[in-house]
Homo-oligomer: A and B are copies of this chain.
Amino acid sequence: VGQAALEAALEKKKYKLVTFTHVDTSTGVLSDAKTIGETIKRVSPETLVILDGVCSVASEEIRQEEWRIDVVLSATQKGLGTPPGLSVVSASQQAIQTFENRKTPVTSYYASWKRWLPIMRAYEAGQPMYFATPPVNLIYAFHASLTAITKRAPSLAERFALHKEQSARLRKATKEIGLKTVAKEGAFQANGMTAIYYPEGLAASDILPRLAGKGIVVAGGLHKDCKDKYFRVGHMGISVVDKSRGDIDRVISALKETTAEAKKAKGLSNGLPNGQFSEPALITETSTA
Bound-complex Cα distance A133 to B108 (A): 19
Q: Given that A85-B85, A135-B135, A135-B138 are known contacts, is A107 also in contact with B110, CB under 8 Å in the complex?
A: no
Question: Hey, what's the 0/1 contact readout for A72-101 against B, CB within 8 Å counting as 1?
Answer: 000101000001110000000000000000
Q: Given that A85-B85, A85-B138, A138-B85 are known contacts, is A77 also in contact with B110, CB under 8 Å in the complex?
A: no
Closest-by-CB residue of B relative to A106 is B107
Contact among B77, B108, B110, B136 with A83 in the assembled complex (CB-CB below 8 Å): B136
Contact of A147 with B by CB under 8 A: no
Contact among B108, B109, B135 with A85 in the assembled complex (CB-CB below 8 Å): B135
Contact of A4 with B by CB under 8 A: no
Closest-by-CB residue of B relative to A222 is B130
A150 to chain B, nearest CB (A): 23
Q: Which residues of B contact A107 (CB under 8 A)?
A: 107-108
Contact among B75, B134, B137, B138 with A133 in the assembled complex (CB-CB below 8 Å): B75
A281 to chain B, nearest CB (A): 35
Contact of A125 with B by CB under 8 A: no
Closest-by-CB residue of B relative to A128 is B220
Copies in the complex: 2
Closest-by-CB residue of B relative to A83 is B137
Closest-by-CB residue of B relative to A54 is B133
Contact of A111 with B by CB under 8 A: yes
Question: Hey, what's the 0/1 contact readout for A103-135 against B, CB within 8 Å counting as 1?
Answer: 000011111000000000000000000000111
Bound-complex Cα distance A135 to B75 (A): 11
Bound-complex Cα distance A110 to B137 (A): 21
A85 to chain B, nearest CB (A): 3
Bound-complex Cα distance A75 to B135 (A): 11
- Contacts of A134-174 to chain B: CB distance below 8 A: 134-138
Q: Which residues of B contact A83 (CB under 8 A)?
A: 135-138
Bound-complex Cα distance A276 to B85 (A): 54
Bound-complex Cα distance A77 to B137 (A): 11
A128 to chain B, nearest CB (A): 9
Q: Which residues of B contact A111 (CB under 8 A)?
A: 108-110
Closest-by-CB residue of B relative to A25 is B133
Bound-complex Cα distance A83 to B83 (A): 13
Bound-complex Cα distance A134 to B75 (A): 11
Apart from the given pairs A84-B135, A85-B137, 4 other A-B contacts in the complex at a CB distance below 8 Å = A83-B136, A135-B135, A135-B138, A138-B138
23 examples of A-B residue contacts, CB within 8 angstroms: A77-B133, A83-B135, A83-B136, A83-B137, A83-B138, A84-B133, A84-B134, A84-B135, A84-B136, A85-B85, A85-B134, A85-B135, A85-B138, A107-B107, A107-B108, A108-B108, A108-B109, A108-B111, A109-B111, A110-B111, A135-B135, A135-B138, A138-B138
Closest 9 CB pairs of A and B: A85-B135, A107-B107, A83-B137, A84-B133, A84-B135, A108-B108, A85-B85, A84-B136, A77-B133
